[in-house]
């Protein structure tokens, strides 16, 4: 996250079987001290990433691993992806942001369903929930995430990061305050906007080709 040369962070697992299945419950006795870590038990889940993040998910994405995926801005998933808070079955609490981030992504009702039941959902249901950004073919998750990352990295970063900040920081604000935040951040990027408008007037980026990710 501290690498200024990297504009987008992609998280993925090793191989196709799992993104991350969470912490080792056999080592549950070590959990207590890690609760006090300011960055979060899994390493960075209580920190806010300063740049866009993408989770490339294949296979099991459970418990703390699910919380890692929720930490990301976008989630790309293969048909084998499975999501759930399976620690519910063993009385282990969610401590890496899951109770706070999931409702912001799928809404409180659906979040409570997954948090309370501990059930595992497949990629079809995850897509219906709005949990995943894009479904990709088997073994295509990393390639697609990298394609998205390259497209995002090619945009003017000043306004991209400013707009991302407005979305994230404005999520818990009343509408009037959120609009004020958006206006303040946008006004601070006036010079970037002027330069971009000049490039557009010169013919750059017109038409749908190359737009979006």
Residue 211 lies in a domain: no
Average pLDDT over residues 107-111: 98
Q: Does one domain contain both 114 and 179?
A: no
Cα–Cα distance, 159 to 118 (Å, whole number): 39
Active-site residue (options: 16, 39, 87, 127): 87
Segments forming the whole domain that contains residue 189: 156-201
Active-site residue (options: 16, 36, 39, 67): 67
Residue 213 lies in a domain: no
Q: What pLDDT score was predicted for residue 199?
A: 76
Residue 41 lies in a domain: yes
Over residues 73-90, the pLDDT tens digits come to 999 999 999 999 999 999
Assess whether 191 carries a catalytic annotation.
no
Q: Does one domain contain both 128 and 183?
A: no
Least confident of 22-31, 186-195, 197-206: 22-31
Assess whether 67 carries a catalytic annotation.
yes
In the chain, how many domains are there? 2
Task: Give the helix/strand (H/E) hosting 141.
Answer: helix 141-154
Secondary structure of the chain: what % helix, strand, coil (to 5)?
50, 10, 40
Q: Does one domain contain both 16 and 60?
A: yes
29, pLDDT greater than 80: no
Q: Does one domain contain both 123 and 170?
A: no
Cα–Cα distance, 166 to 161 (Å, whole number): 9
Q: Does one domain contain both 14 and 116?
A: yes
């Amino acid at each position: 996250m501290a690498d200024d040369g990297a504009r987008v962070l992609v998280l993925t697992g090793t191989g196709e079987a799992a993104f991350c299945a969470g912490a080792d419950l056999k080592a549950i006795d070590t959990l207590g001290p890690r609760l006090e870590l300011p960055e979060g038990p899994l390493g960075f889940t209580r920190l806010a990433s300063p740049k866009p993040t993408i989770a490339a998910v294949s296979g099991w994405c459970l418990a703390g691993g699910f919380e890692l995926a929720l930490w990301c801005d976008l989630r790309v998933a293969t048909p084998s992806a499975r999501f759930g808070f399976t620690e519910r079955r063993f009385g282990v609490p969610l401590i890496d942001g899951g109770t706070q981030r999931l409702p912001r992504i799928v809404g409180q009702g659906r979040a409570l369903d997954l948090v309370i039941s501990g059930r595992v959902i497949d990629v079809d249901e995850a897509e219906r929930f709005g949990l995943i950004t894009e479904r990709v073919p088997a073994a295509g998750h990393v390639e697609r995430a990298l394609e998205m990352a390259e497209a995002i990295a090619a945009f003017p970063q000043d306004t991209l990061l400013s707009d991302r900040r407005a979305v994230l920081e404005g999520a818990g604000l009343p509408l009037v305050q959120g609009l004020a935040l958006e206006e303040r951040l946008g006004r601070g990027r006036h010079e970037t906007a002027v330069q971009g408008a000049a490039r557009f007037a010169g013919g750059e980026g017109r038409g749908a080709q190359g737009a979006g990710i």
